[in-house]
Chain A
Amino acid sequence: MSLELWIGMLVAAVGTYLIRLLPLLWMQKRLARSEADGPVDALPKWLVILGPMMIAAVLGVSLVPRTPDAAGWLATVIGLGVTLAIWRRTRSLGWPVVGGVLTFGVVVIVARMVG
């Protein structure tokens, strides 16, 4: 990398860090102020709603399989079903993910062999 590109990379890195950090400092100040003023809910309602919506959006983005053919989509649907079923039984984080990934893998392999 040229010196120019190194500087550009550093600017991008610092900028990305500030994008993550500055909103935290702003909200911490807001929370401290609201605590001093009394029991007012400092977190704006739109932000409370936007948080889960962002997680749902990240889910939507990650749903598209690496190879988006019929086998990939079938494995995605069945894998999600199994993940959900295991979550309903265990209410845990790890086992549903393990079960979902294994199911996804098995369905992809079987579907490719059959198809």
Chain B
Amino acid sequence: MKRESIHAATPGWLMGLREAIPLLGGYIPVSISFGLVATQAGFSSVETLVISILIYAGASQFLFVGMAASGAPLWLTVAMTLLINVRHVVYAPNLAPWLPPSRWWPWLMHGLTDQVFALAHSRLPQLPESRRVGWFFGAAMLAWLSWIAGSLLGAVAGEWLTSRWPLLGEVMPFALPALFLVLIVPRFTSRRWAAALSVSVAAALVCTLVGLTNVGIPLAAACGALCFYMIRLPETAGTNKGTADKGTTQEGRSS
């Protein structure tokens, strides 16, 4: 009870900030790598910083600097950058039912990355409406600022950092699969959902292993959805929005 009342007194933005901390394990090493790659490709620290502030989409930033450095046509560089990010179109509609009216949402959509979506999709339904804008602001802002700070660090001292602590860059990113596992496990509410989600995980893993990381996310999700529609196993919850949410209400609370 005591813990619950402390939890209820915490401002929404602080809860979001705290719950997004695991994302840093993935964001900081990758953004340091981006800063390093960008400067090696001939971009200045300021240019690297501006790219991270404005585009703010990991894989497409790597592609942008890589293609620009190799002298690819500009229209193709921009088109490929946008094509990688097309998967984001399904994120906001999935969150929309849990977004209370606020003039802040259009601005906050800049922070809707894969990871922030995964976190918000699990947490927003569990929060009271009054705290959702604050929660999203805190979580998205921490993720964005860590990405910017990591990019700058990578651009200025990336080479030194990776040579001094090589293991850190290997261990920290495990925070991402650990976090996503915790977010997805409560959704294994029936054999039908379990089968479909497992297919999605396995398909994405295979896509990544064969080098199709970016197309792997929408492709694997489509495989999982197809599996969901094709198989007819007992379903206890999940397809009904309300039922699915009840199943996760007490789960995924921040420590």
Q: Does B62 contact A (CB under 8 A)?
A: no
Chain A residues 27-48 with CB under 8 Å of chain B are 27-28, 31, 41-43, 45-48
CB pair A66 B169 closer than 8 Å: yes
Over the window 19-45 of chain B, the binary record of Cβ atoms lying under 8 Å from chain A Cβ atoms (1 yes, 0 no) is: 101100110000000000000000110
B133 at the binding interface (Cβ < 8 Å): no
Contact B92 A80 (CB under 8 A): no
Alpha-carbon separation in the docked complex, A100 to B176 (Å): 10
Count class of interface residues, chain A = 35 or more
CB-based contact B177/A62 at 8 Å: yes
**Within 8 Å CB of B196, what residues of A?**
49, 53
Q: Which of B115, B216, B253 contacts A92 (CB 8 A)?
A: B253
Q: Which of B50, B94, B173, B187 contacts A50 (CB 8 A)?
A: B94
Residues 90-114 of A, flagged 1 when their CB comes within 8 A of B and 0 if not, give: 1111111110110011001100000
The 10 A-B residue pairs with the shortest CB-CB distance, nearest first, are A60-B204, A94-B255, A100-B178, A24-B92, A13-B54, A59-B180, A56-B200, A27-B96, A27-B93, A53-B224
Beyond A21-B109, A57-B218, 7 additional pairs, beta carbon < 8 A? A23-B92, A24-B99, A27-B96, A49-B228, A54-B217, A101-B172, A105-B167
Q: Which residues of B contact A (CB under 8 A)?
A: 18-19, 21-22, 25-26, 43-44, 47, 50-51, 54-57, 60, 64, 68, 74, 77-78, 81-82, 85-97, 99, 105-106, 109-110, 112, 114-115, 117-118, 121-122, 167, 169-185, 187, 193, 196-198, 200-205, 207-209, 213, 216-222, 224-225, 228-229, 238-239, 241, 244, 250-255
A interface residues with partner B (beta carbon < 8 Å): 1, 4-5, 8-13, 15-17, 19-28, 31, 41-43, 45-68, 72, 75-76, 79-80, 83-84, 87, 90-98, 100-101, 104-105, 108-109
